[in-house]
Structure 1
Amino acid sequence: MAPTPGTMKKPIPTHFLCIPLTASPASRAQLAASLAAFRNEVCAAPAAGGFDVPPDAVRPVGTMHLTLGVMSFPPQPTGRGGVAKSEQEDCETPRDDGQSGRRTPAGLEKAKEVLAGIGLRAIWREIMRGRQGDAVRRLEGMAAQRKAVPGTGLVKAEGEEEGKEKEEEEVKEEEKEGPRITLRGLASMQPADKAAVLYAPPVDQFGLLQAFCERIRDVFREAELMVDEDRPLLLHATVMNTVYVKGNKRDAGGSRGRGGRGGRGGRGAKKWDRLVLDARGILDRYEDQLWMEDISLDKVTICKMGAKKVIVDGEEDEAYEVAAEVNF
C-alpha cells in the first residue's frame, strides 16, 4: 500500500546549501571577536552581569553560515548482486568518493553538477538591474507628480534626472562588487521566554540578498534536490543553539538552572525535551549588536550535516565538511 501524505516520513537531511560566513580572513576575524565577546558575557553568572548560558550553546565561529535549504542524500541501499538500487532502477551511477571505498549518492552528484552550473554573478546582475528599473520608475513617478505643481516643473525635473543618474551609478557599482553581508541584531526562533535558538539576521534594506538567495534556492528546487520545508526562506546566522549543550535534556517537571529574565528555565513535560532559556534579557542587550560588517559574498557551498572539530590558526574550532562549492 502506498503511503498517504499524512503517513510519509520526512526525509532526513544529510546536506545543506549555504553561504559560508568565514570564507575570508576579514569575515572570520570579525565574527571570531564578536562571538568570543558574546560567549564571555552571556555565559557569565548573573552576579557578574551574565545570563548563565551553557558555553556549548554558543556556536563556534567556523560553523557560521546562511542556510539556503537542506537536502537528503541517504546512503543507497544495495540491490541484487551488490548493485545499488539507483543503478538498477534509475540508471544513475554513484561514484566512489575516494574515502574507504564509500559511494557518493547519485543525488549528491546531481547537486554538485547543478551548483557548478549556477552563474552567481549573472543572478546578481539580474536582481540589480531589476532594482535599477524599479528606482527609475519611482523617480519618474515623482517627477510626473511634481510637474503638476505650477512653477516647479523645470527645477524638479532637473533634480530628478540627477537622482536617476546617481541611482544608476550606484547600482552599477554594486552589481560589479557583488552582494555584501552585514549581520546586526539578535532574534529568537521561539518565543523569547522559551528560546532554544538565537540568530543574527543579515541587514537587507532593499531585499536584494533575500532575492539572490531565493533565486539560487529555486534552481535546486526545480531540480528536485531540496527538501520541502514548507516555510519561507529565513536568512539567519545561528549564534546560539541549546541542542549542542551536553546533557541538555531534563526530566518531567525538572529544570536546568534558574528561570527569570535571562536565566535558564524549562517547560513542564511528560518526557525529556530540549533545554530552553528565558532569553528576553539577552535579546534586549544585543538588539543592535554588530557581528560582522560589509563582508563580500565569496562563495556558495554544499555542506555535509554535522560539524567536525578542526584546528584553525592553532585554535580549536568546528566546521562543516564541504562537498562542493562555487565562487562568486
Structure 2
Amino acid sequence: MPPRPAPTHFLCIPLAGMQLANTLASFRTDVTSAMSFGLPKDAVRPLGTLHLTLGVMSLNQDGVGKAVEILKGLKLREILAESRVANSNRMSAAALALSGGDTDESQLSHPNGGLSLTIRGLHSMQPAAKATVLYAPPSDPTGLLYDFCKLLQKPFQDSELMIDENRPLLLHATIVNTIYVKNSGGSSGARGKRREKLTIDARDVLARYDDYVWAEDMPITRVALCRMGAKPIEGTDDAAYEVEADVEFEC
C-alpha cells in the first residue's frame, strides 16, 4: 500500500479569549522558569495556535475548493440541535437502565443556545517520564461536545476528503510540543541527542496542573479549515495557522 500523502489541512474548533490568554501566559512563565521546571520556551505553544482538531486532510487545489464548499454549507446550530437529540436519547436510555424504568426528563434537557467549553487539566500523549506532547482536554461529562464534533466530521468523511480512522476522537488542545524546540541544549529536565526526539520528564508538571482550569464556559463561535504549519504573527510573540475558510454560529 502506498504511503498516505502528508496532511495539508485540518478541520478544527479555534480556541481564544482573555481567560485562556492569561492562564497560558501564567503556565508558560511557571514551567519555563529555571526556578521551576525549566522547560524550553519554544515547547509551549503560542496562544494563536490553540484549537481542538476534528480531523486532518491531504488536499490538492480541487480538494480545497470542495472542502471549503462543504464547510460553508454547515449549519452549526442545526448540527448542534441534532447532537442534543442524540445526546439526550443516550442519556435517557442510560438513566432508564439505572432507574429501572423511571427517569426525570427535565434533568436531561439542555439550554436552547450555543455550546461552550471548559478546558481543565493536563495530560501527556506519551508516558509522562518521556513526554513530547502535553495537552489540555475539554470537559465533556455528557458527551455532547463529542457528538457535535463527530457530526462535523461526517460530511468530510462521506466525501472522502477526510479519512475515517475508525477510532475514538481525542479532543484536546496541545499546550506543549517539543518538536518545536529549536535547540535542545541546556534545557532542565530535558534529554535528547542530535537528530533524536526531545523528551521531557513531565511527571511533576502534570501533577501541578492536573486540575488547572485553562478556560471556563468559553463559547464556541466558529469551525475553521486551516492550513498546516503555524506562522509567526509579525510584531508579536504569537503565531497562528492560516485560515482557508470558516463558518460561524448563526445569531
Instruction: Give the TM-score of the pair, scaled to structure 2.
Output: 0.91
Partner of 1:65: 51
Partner of 1:157: none
Q: Summarize deviations over 1:148-197 as a string: whole Å, max 9, x none.
A: xxxxxxxxxxxx5xx32x325x42x1xx2222111100001111011011
Partner of 1:124: 80
Q: Compute the displacement of 1:124 (Å).
A: 1.3
Provide the alpha-carbon RMSD of the alignment. 2.2
Structure 1's 137 and 281: CA in aligned 2 closer, same or farther, altered over 3 A?
closer
Structure 1's 273 and 227: CA in aligned 2 closer, same or farther, altered over 3 A?
farther
Contact between 1:135 and 1:167, CA under 8 Å: does it hold in 2? no
Is 1:208 aligned with 2:197? no
Amino acid at match of 2:247: V
Runs of 4+ in 1 over 6 A off after TM superposition: none
Partner of 1:98: none
Q: Compute the displacement of 1:128 (Å).
A: 0.9
Contact between 1:303 and 1:323, CA under 8 Å: does it hold in 2? yes
What is the aligned length? Answer: 249
Structure 1's 9 and 112: CA in aligned 2 closer, same or farther, altered over 3 A?
same
Structure 1's 221 and 38: CA in aligned 2 closer, same or farther, altered over 3 A?
same
Q: Compute the displacement of 1:230 (Å).
A: 6.1
Structure 1's 219 and 63: CA in aligned 2 closer, same or farther, altered over 3 A?
same
Q: Compute the displacement of 1:228 (Å).
A: 5.2
For 2:168 and 2:88, the matched residues in 1 are separated by 25
Is 1:51 aligned with 2:40? no
Partner of 2:19: 30
Q: Percent identity?
A: 47
Is 1:318 aligned with 2:244? no
Q: Compute the displacement of 1:286 (Å).
A: 0.4
Partner of 1:99: none
- 1:115-264 equivalences under 5 Å are 115-137=71-93, 163-164=104-105, 166-167=106-107, 170-171=109-110, 173=111, 176-227=112-163, 231-248=167-184, 257-258=187-188, 263-264=189-190
Greater per-residue helix proportion: 1
Instruction: Give the TM-score of the pair, scaled to structure 1.
Output: 0.70
Q: Compute the displacement of 1:247 (Å).
A: 2.7
Contact between 2:11 and 2:225, CA under 8 Å: does it hold in 1? yes
For 1:60 and 1:68, the matched residues in 2 are separated by 20
Which consecutive residues of structure 1, in runs of 5 or more, have no partner in the other structure? 23-27, 75-104, 147-159, 249-254
For 2:145 and 2:26, the matched residues in 1 are separated by 27
Amino acid at match of 1:310: I
Contact between 2:23 and 2:214, CA under 8 Å: does it hold in 1? yes
Contact between 1:256 and 1:265, CA under 8 Å: does it hold in 2? no
Which consecutive residues of structure 2, in runs of 5 or more, have no partner in the other structure? none
Q: Compute the displacement of 1:256 (Å).
A: 5.4
Higher relative contact order (Cα pairs below 8 Å, separated by 6+ residues): 2
Amino acid at match of 1:201: P
